[in-house]
Amino acid sequence: MIDEALAWQVELARDDADWEGYMAWLEADPRHREAFDSVALTEAMVDEHRNEVRALLEAQAPDSPSANTLSPTSPYRPRRPLRWVMGGGLAAALALAVGLPMMWAPEAVTGYAAHAGSSRTVALADGANVILSPASRILVHGRNAARIELASGEAYFAVRHDPSRTLTIEAGPYRITDIGTRFSVNLSGGTFRIAVSEGAVAVSSDKANGQVRLQAGQQLTGGADGNLALAPVAVADVGSWRDGRLSYNDAPLALVVADISRYSGRRIIVDSSLETRHFSGTLVIGDGSRLLPDLAAVMGLAVHPQDGGALRLGGADR
């Protein structure tokens, strides 16, 4: 089960993840969820303490001198590269959890996931509530839920105003700081979007200097290149998926297609010629099967079947 959980953890990191297959595996045995949550917890611990992990592995490698005799000029080199650990390697994570002594007191991390085809509401500490859109996942760090990580998909946050407490939400390289507001965060297809319906938030990133402050009626989008774009958004459209529709205002096409892939359960490929395109409009979710054809019709594009059941969004003349 641990091996299967490892495989699914890797699979879900893909833009074209097989969410339908994952949910079927998850529901096949109640122990599967426990195995997956254990993998997610251990991965988060290893990633947070990567420097300690590197030192621990080097010190306990079978062919290394003891930790007390290592020096900068030591001829010892690890037999295997540690890139897989530093990137959050899952096999290493479980090996460390089971076979090596712990060098830190682990922070409590709880994972929550919404099944494909349905949303999920999670009540957290201090009056914070999160609604997960279908096939989305968050990790809640600490018992007081002061830090939340959006692992994939989209989530709507409703946070009670409390000046004495600050909530931090991480989505990829982006960090969102909030003291009481309502907003939606999307991390899909290598793109990021946050839209605020009430209050204000501050967004920072390792790829940008300073913070961007968003008020109600504003959205911020970011692509793989790290560029951020601030734009207005209708308050009623923030988290519109809760009402059965997907609303976008100048959203990167990659984000729109990633959303459609989650709702439809289909792998969708976007032609490279469309990578810079954006979309503004509203799509009715329904059962998810009409989302891509409707998007193609509005944008004057075409849907082309591919081998293995995938779909390609491209020009109408191809």
CA angle at residue 202 from 200 to 206, to 5 degrees? 160
- State the fold for domain 108-238: Jelly Rolls (2.60.120)
Pick 244-318's CATH classification: 3.40.1280.10, 3.10.20.600, 3.40.50.300, 3.55.50.30: 3.55.50.30
The span from the CA of 163 to the CA of 180, in Å, is 8
Q: Which residue has the tokens 């998926």?
A: 241
pLDDT value, residue 18: 82
Question: Could you tell me the sign of the dihedral formed by the alpha carbons of 280, 175, 178, 120, in that order?
Answer: positive
Domains 108-238 and 244-318 share a fold: no
* Residue 253 token pair: 């096409």
pLDDT tens across 254-276, in order? 999 999 999 999 999 999 999 88
Strands (E) in the chain, as ranges, are: 109-113, 120-123, 129-132, 137-141, 147-158, 167-171, 174-178, 182-188, 191-198, 200-205, 211-215, 218-222, 228-232, 245-252, 268-270, 278-284, 301-305, 311-315
* Residue 12 token pair: 């879900």
pLDDT tens across 16-66, in order? 778 778 878 877 776 787 788 778 778 777 777 778 877 777 776 655 444
pLDDT tens across 162-219, in order? 777 778 899 988 999 877 789 999 998 788 999 999 999 999 887 767 789 999 999 9
Domain spans in the chain, listed from the N-terminal domain onward: 2-99, 108-238, 244-318
